Structure formats: structure tokens, C-alpha cells
Amino acid sequence: MATRVCKFGGTSLADATQMQKVRRIIEADPARRFVVPSAPGKRFSSDEKITDLLYRCHTLASRGASIGEPFIQISDRYLAIRTELGLDVDLESELAWIRTQIEGGASADYAASRGEYLSAKLVAAMLRFEFVDAAEIVLFDPAGRLDAEGTQRAVSTRLQGSRGIVVPGFYGRDPKGEIRTFSRGGSDVSGAIVARGVSADVYENWTDVSGMLMADPRVVPSPKPIQVLTYRELRELAYMGATVLHDEAIFPVREAGIPVHILNTNAPDQPGTRIVRGNGDELPITGSITGIAGRKDFTIIAVEKTLMNAEVGFARKMLEVLAVDEIPFEHMPSGIDTMSLVIKDSYLDGKLERITTSIRRACNPDSVEVYPNIALIATVGRGMMHTPGMASRLFGALAAANVNIRMIDQGSSELNIIVGVEARDFETAMRAIYTAFVPA
């Protein structure tokens, strides 16, 4: 039988009604043998996530203040779900113990992890699956980094051949037995770890959207869904701001070549988006694009020097200036006598003047120009390298929309074309590119 690992996000588990949807999804396919739940998310726009409430409890406890008010909210949420689902699971003892631990000085990681822990207890009872604590099988090193090899062995040993397992997402333990968490959104990582450990055929990531869209719907009206894309395309889109699923969160399944399927808990019959390795002839070349993504708040530092190309170590000198202040750069487009650094504004806060002065001192350029308020837009598609005229169509669309291009960067893989435009032209440029490539 095929094996599917299902990770459910916080909105999928926000209340009893959502959990009943989860039960129907799992019962619809016997291959869905492993479930990785998040903590309950918001039920409505002004609601609070359980994880946020738990962090607040920790903050209050660390100050010696009462955690009563937020902890009552947490308890009421879980007890209401249990009651509405008619489950027989002892939450009172669990909640009392968790409160005692938080008030007694437990770490922020411990406090935050209890959202997933209690959620998994309820899901396991609802599905009549076995509960396996993530602290048994997800291992961190003493520095708080995932011990990938140790975790792989532990997951494979504990779960291989099992049927009907629920593993809470977001956390594991270090060698001292202390609870450690991933960064926020870490349940995606946990699901990917379980999928790789049991050699799943598919890793299903259930959320509140029907997969990924070809552009941000806040910018482009009613963009079409992406039915399938490769891990490399996902990385490009996620890096430039597409937020449904980040490629780093699913690295374990990417490394193992396990496909990912993004699906909507509220519309389980929708096709969603499949993410695949994309080797060889696995995917057809369509001659179109896969998606568009972009971000604002960049600055370009443009350096010009005659015969720059003949000066050994020029680029190294520029990058050493950034390294002193531990500033990363996004792109470094260059010409025969020019070289530019594209940097996030957040990294330059309070440092821009010092950086430009240091570049002048280290590189002795003819000029250093600073261009703030830049937005970057990535047009991504595996077919771009095989289809003549893609760049021409993109630049023509921007010209027709009266958008001035401040920077162009295309990697040797030809998987994408990145353009820098004035921030005020960002939305216009996104819509122009989308319209040029995606038929109405």
C-alpha cells in the first residue's frame, strides 16, 4: 500500500468543525497513515493562535506575573474541542502539568511546543491512531540544530511499518532531554522529516488555500493556480516572497525525492499544487512561466571604475566591506566597468553611509551611486531556457506599461529572470508581466 504523510496547519485544526474535516480527509484514503498536526490557529480574524498564547504565558511567568488569563483561554479551546468531538482523553491532567511547568520556569521552547503536543493528543484520539511524542524521534544537537542523521534513524526505527500514527509537529529534544523547537512554521519541517523517515510516496501539506498561485492575489486579480512545479522553481518563488510553503521547510523530502502535494482542508477535492523533483522528461516544457513573485525594500549600490575587469580582486574587496558588517547581498549584476550590489534595506539600516565610504576607501572607484526604493520581481519557469523570446516578451511588457527597469539579472540555469524596478512601479510591473505570459 502507498504511504502518505499528512501535515495539517493551524487553520485546519482551529476548532472541532475543522478537525472533523481532517477526520474525513484521513478516512477517505487508507494510505494516509501518518498525521503531523500543528497547534490550533485562528478561528476568526481577531482570534489568537494557541502558540501565541503559550508564548505569552512564558513571558508572563518569566516576569513573575500570573499566567491565568491566557492559560484559561488555552484550556477552554482544547476542552471545547474535546467536548464537541465527544472524545475520551484526559486533558485536565495534561493542562495542569503544563501550567505547573511553565510557572516553574520551563523554557520558551517547551511552552510553545505544548500547542502541538495537545493538538496531537486530540487528533490521535479522534482518529483512533497511536500518539508518538516528537521528543522520542526528532533530535536536536546541543546547539539547537536538527540532528538530521540521528533523527532519520530514530524515525525510521520507531515508525517504519506502523499504521495510524500521529506525531506532533514543531519540536523535538536535545541530548539533555530538553524540548527544542524549529522556527515558526516548523510543523512543515516535522512533516517532511516523518515523510522521509517512513519513505512516504507523497507528503501532503494541508492548509487553508488550494495550492500555490501564479502571482500574489493582492497584486494580480484572480491569478491562476500552479498545478505542478519543481523544487528548484519553488525555491526561486519562495525566496522572492511566495509564502504558502517555503522550500527550506521541506528540505528532507526534497533530498529524498518525495513529491509534495499542497491541498486545502476546506476544499479537499481541489487539485492543489504538486511539487516534484523534475528530472529528465518528468515534466513537459510548456513554453510559458510557472509563477511570478517579488519583494520591495531593496537598495542598489552601483560602483563604476575604468578597467575594473582587469583589476584582480576588485569584487573581493567590495564583498569584504560587506563582510565586516555581516551584510549579505541578494544579487551582484556587473558590466565591464561596473558592478552593483543589491541589498535588503533592513541590512543597511544605519550602515549605508559607512558602507559606501568603505567601498571608496577599499576600491578607489570612479563613482559610487546609491539607488534606494527598489523592488525585485522574479519571473520563474523551467521552460524559459528552451523558449526563444521569453526575455523579449517580459521587457516588452514592462516597456508598454511605462515601467523603467533599473536592474536585470538572469542566472546561468535560465530558470528565472529577475528585474529591479522602482518600488512605486512594483504592482504595475507584476500585473504587466503576468498579463504578458498568462492567457486570460
**36 in any annotated domain:** yes
- pLDDT for 250: 84
Number of Cβ within 10 Å of residue 375's Cβ equals 21
pLDDT score, position 50: 98
pLDDT on residue 185: 65
Q: What's the angle, vertex CA 366, arms to CA 363 and CA 371, rounded to 5?
A: 90
Task: Tell me which of 105-114, 176-185, 191-200, 338-347 is least confident.
Answer: 176-185
The more confident residue out of 285 and 2 is 2
Residues 314 and 171 in one domain: no
Is 191 found in the same domain as 317? no
Mean pLDDT throughout 423-432?
97
Q: Which of 176, 191, 208 is the last residue of a domain?
A: 208
pLDDT at 191 over 80: yes
Q: How are the residues of the chain apportioned to helix, strand and coil, as percentages rounded to the nearest 5?
A: 40, 20, 35
State the average pLDDT over residues 152-181.
95
> Residue 260: inside a domain, yes or no?
no
- According to DSSP, the β-strands at 291-304 and 338-344 are antiparallel
**Which of 208, 226, 241 is where one domain is finished?**
208
CATH number of the CATH domain containing 97: 3.40.1160.10
Residue 217 lies in a domain: no
pLDDT tens per residue, range 348-392: 999 999 999 999 999 999 999 999 999 999 999 887 767 788 889
Alpha carbon 314 to its chain's center: 35
Q: Is residue 243 part of a domain?
A: no
Residues 300, 203 share a domain: no
Mean of per-residue pLDDT scores for the chain = 92
Domain of residue 153, residue span: 4-208
79 has a pLDDT exceeding 90? yes
Does the pLDDT of residue 302 top 90, yes or no? yes
Say whether both 66 and 199 belong to one domain. Answer: yes
- Residue 261 domain-assigned (yes or no): no
Mean pLDDT lowest for which of 118-127, 158-167, 231-240, 374-383? 231-240
Return the pLDDT at 427.
Answer: 97
The total domain count for the chain is 2
Asked whether the beta carbons of 242 and 320 are under 8 A apart, the reply is no
Q: How far apart are CA 396 and CA 324, in angstroms?
A: 40
pLDDT at 414: 65
d(CA 35, CA 53): 24
Q: Is the pLDDT of residue 279 over 70?
A: no
Enter the C-alpha cell of residue 17: 468543525
Final residue in a domain of this structure, among 183, 208, 233: 208
**Residue 206, strand partner residues:** 8, 263
CATH number at residue 317: 3.30.2130.10
Residues 204 and 342 in one domain: no
Residue 295: pLDDT over 60: yes
Do residue 35 and residue 177 come from a single domain? yes
Q: Of all residues in the chain, what percent carry a pLDDT higher than 70? A: 95
According to DSSP, the residues that pair with 230 across neighbouring strands are 276
